[in-house]
A and B are shown apart, each in its own frame.
Chain A
Amino acid sequence: MRKYAIFFYCFILFAFVIKESYFSVPENFPKPVYDFSNNPLTENKILLGRTLFYEPMLSKSNTISCESCHSQFSAFTHIDHALSHGIHDSIGKRNSPALMNLAWQKSFMWDGAVNNLDMQALAPISHPAEMGSSINEVIAKLNASVKYRKLFYNAFGDSAVTGEKTLKSISQFMLTLVSANSKYDQIMRKEMSFTEQEERGYLLFKKNCSSCHTEPLFTNGNFENNGLQMDSLLMDIGRVKVTKQSDDSLKFKVPSLRNIEYSYPYMHDGRFKKLSDVLNHYTKGIHQSKTLAPQLKNNIVLTSNEKVDIINFLLTLSDKEFVFNPQFQYPK
């Protein structure tokens, strides 16, 4: 009897650990938006997706992978470049976004042009200034690769590569990119506490920033015009291009502020290099226009000390474990 009981206990623990390692909802997070029932995570599918994420064959010239513009050490974005660049050093129109907590994201791209995580990869694969290829060309290359046929077989029980399987696998890996162990999260879980300066910054943040950068994801997932004057060379009008509704002119998706320390430069066109530039924009750089977010109609007032306090708070959103997690690295 006793032997049975012990055996049973170990089994439960084992199952729990395995499930936890794929994906779990952090305790201070809401319910995910992504429908996992259409694409249940498995170890082999995540591994396939992770391999594809680092695969330069996704580009026409076999030189650019997802990782080229979404490197783990920078919270999966492309630092030091205001605008992302792709094959043949072509320069894109926008700053590549950091990738994290994608299971909670309602839409993708700065203008929300992509409606589901599964479909996201189609855009960079096809864009002439990014990977310059097509999903059909990618699938032909993968079908011709012994390595990939084996990975697809392990993941799906069938070595034939299809668009559906490829995109679902990439989603699986991206869904595992959960960042929820910053100092802020540990403080919310009552495992740590803020310094006095961080605490002051947190209160100022809640008063001035959190209506758009809402906790715990640090974005409300909506589109806003945050008072940036349109770059006269890029002429990027934002979400209106997708919806063709004039109310959406100059609106871009509110980005999460998690891991902001690692993911510079800032804004859809990467125009600000430092967090202090961003705060200065909100206190004295707002460009008035018809669709400006109502919260920004009057300049936000902050002293220079208060700005430093806010930056100190923002640094508590850095999740070191996330940017060094070996499970997200190139699969060896």
Chain B
Amino acid sequence: MHESVYPIENGNTIKFETLKFYISNIQLFQNDVDVYSEPNSFHLIDVSDTSSQNIFLNPPHRINFNKIKFNLGIDSITNVSGVMGGDLDPTKGMYWTWQSGYVNFKMEGTSTACMPPKNDFEFHLGGYQYPFNSLQKIELKTSSKTNLKIILELNKFFTAIDLTTQKYIMSPCVDAVIFSKQLANCFSVK
């Protein structure tokens, strides 16, 4: 990831330093009936760590499903319930230290669309309290595959936002909510 340069709008390019986000509360549905909810469902997906990109679900028996639901980010109850381990451990770099709350989506890098000299951008998207609740509920239609591929297409996101005007978001705010919604639209089932 660190070496690759990707083209974006208007002939600009982008490079990523960090790309990490939480997927939580995974549920499978058959005709709107909940057939499986993963227990303790919190996953930190780190694009620089391929092993984190595979999630193994273990339903107790064979199930049919035609929809998957999950959250992009960490729910508000978990946000106020004290320290947790595993992927939620604050050492994972996804917890704000000066103001409690998880960073749901962290994206850092450089782009020719950003102002010199550093040409950097930094999006730490999170916030669990009204009116800056940035958790996104995602629903995707699918078929009962044993190997489900979910794609995050960031080119859609970089088309929707303007890196020349907004390149830093570091706290819960209106823009963090808007950006989170745009990211939620970038998920699809392959």
Q: Check B81 against A119 for contact (C-beta < 8 Å).
A: no
Across the interface, name the chain B residue whose C-beta is closest to A140: B91
Would A167 and B98 be within 8 Å (CB), given that A35-B82, A116-B81 are in contact? no
Would A119 and B85 be within 8 Å (CB), given that A114-B100, A243-B129 are in contact? no
Across the interface, name the chain A residue whose C-beta is closest to B90: A163
Contact with B along A167-211 (1 / 0, CB 8 A): 110010000000000000000000000000000000000000000
Within 8 Å of chain A (Cβ to Cβ): is B147? no
Within 8 Å of chain B (Cβ to Cβ): is A308? no
Kindly state the separation between the CA atoms of A209 and B108 in the bound complex, as whole angstroms: 49
Q: Check A116 against B82 for contact (C-beta < 8 Å).
A: yes
Kindly state the separation between the CA atoms of A278 and B126 in the bound complex, as whole angstroms: 39
Of B83, B91, B129, B132, the contact of A119 (CB 8 Å cutoff): B83
Of A123, A126, A163, A244, the contact of B132 (CB 8 Å cutoff): A244
Q: Check A119 against B98 for contact (C-beta < 8 Å).
A: no
Kindly state the separation between the CA atoms of A244 and B174 in the bound complex, as whole angstroms: 10
Of B80, B81, B91, the contact of A135 (CB 8 Å cutoff): B91
Interface residues of A in 233-286 (CB under 8 A from B): 242-244
Q: Check B85 against A162 for contact (C-beta < 8 Å).
A: yes
Total residues of chain B contacting the partner, CB 8 A: 21
Within 8 Å of chain B (Cβ to Cβ): is A305? no
Of B90, B99, B132, the contact of A167 (CB 8 Å cutoff): B90
| Majority secondary structure, A binding face | helix
Within 8 Å of chain B (Cβ to Cβ): is A314? no
- Residues of B contacting A134 in the complex (Cβ-Cβ under 8 angstroms): 97
Within 8 Å of chain A (Cβ to Cβ): is B47? no
Of A38, A39, A119, the contact of B90 (CB 8 Å cutoff): A119
- Residues of A contacting B132 in the complex (Cβ-Cβ under 8 angstroms): 244
Kindly state the separation between the CA atoms of A38 and B83 in the bound complex, as whole angstroms: 9
Q: Check A168 against B129 for contact (C-beta < 8 Å).
A: no
Would you give the shortest CB distance from A69 to chain B, in whole angstroms?
16
- Residues of A contacting B81 in the complex (Cβ-Cβ under 8 angstroms): 35, 38, 116
Would you give the shortest CB distance from A251 to chain B, in whole angstroms?
15
Residue with the highest number of chain A CB atoms closer than 10 Å, among B84, B85, B90, B95: B90
Which of B's residues lie within 8 Å of A, judged by CB? 79-85, 89-91, 93, 95, 97-101, 129, 132, 172-173
Which of A's residues lie within 8 Å of B, judged by CB? 35, 38-39, 113-119, 122-123, 125-127, 134-136, 139, 162-165, 167-168, 171, 242-244
